Amino acid sequence: MVGRNIYRLPIVSVPESTENDQGSPAGVTLRGPLREAMEAPPTVYELLGGQRFFDDLVDRFYQAVETDPVLRPLYPRDLRPSRARLAGFLAQYWGGPPRYSEMRGHPRLRLRHMPFAIGWAEREAWMTHMTAALDAATVADGTDRRLPDEIRDLMFEHFNNAATFLVNKD
């Protein structure tokens, strides 16, 4: 059931045991977008337990930002809206519903970071906190197991590349 893209599915669950030879529920032949949705591989968002995972990751990250002498001055006094934006962006990026874009439009991350002077020191501080948050992260499905290594590495790679791309001063 993990493989099903639940938020895109009009039918929430079909017992496996009633499937016929075509892998469809008995007496029903699924075609087109519904069939594609049923067969789609799970997204990283789903594998990690959905929005909760991203909220927890970003909470950990911002707890560290809160006391970081290099990063703290760049962020607004109230960090709550920033938390919601980053968690929404990441959830969407990793295959979740497009709530960030509904709220903020196209991400345009380089443009949106231009008002903040981001040099190598800021980039390193950001990556240090995000790497620590990733290393402490657990899957938000009630099992509390650690993030699978392949997903952790994929996420690290994305953060590492994006952080370099966002450097905008010498």
The site for ligand HEM (CB under 6 A) is made up of 71, 74-75, 82, 85-86, 89, 104, 109, 112-113, 116, 118, 122-123, 126, 159, 162-163, 166
Q: Where are the alpha helices (DSSP H) in the chain?
A: 32-39, 44-47, 51-65, 80-93, 99-104, 109-113, 120-136, 149-165
With respect to ligand HEM, which residue has the nearer C-beta, 25 or 97? 97
Q: Which residue is it, tokens 């087109």? A: 32
Q: How far is the CB of 115 from ligand HEM (least distance, A)?
A: 8
- C-beta of residue 96 within 8 angstroms of C-beta of residue 43: yes
Q: How far is the CB of 100 from ligand HEM (least distance, A)?
A: 7
With respect to ligand HEM, which residue has the nearer C-beta, 35 or 113? 113
- C-beta of residue 135 within 8 angstroms of C-beta of residue 95: no
Q: How far is the CB of 31 from ligand HEM (least distance, A)?
A: 38
With respect to ligand HEM, which residue has the nearer C-beta, 26 or 109? 109
Neighbours of 10 (CB within 10 A): 7
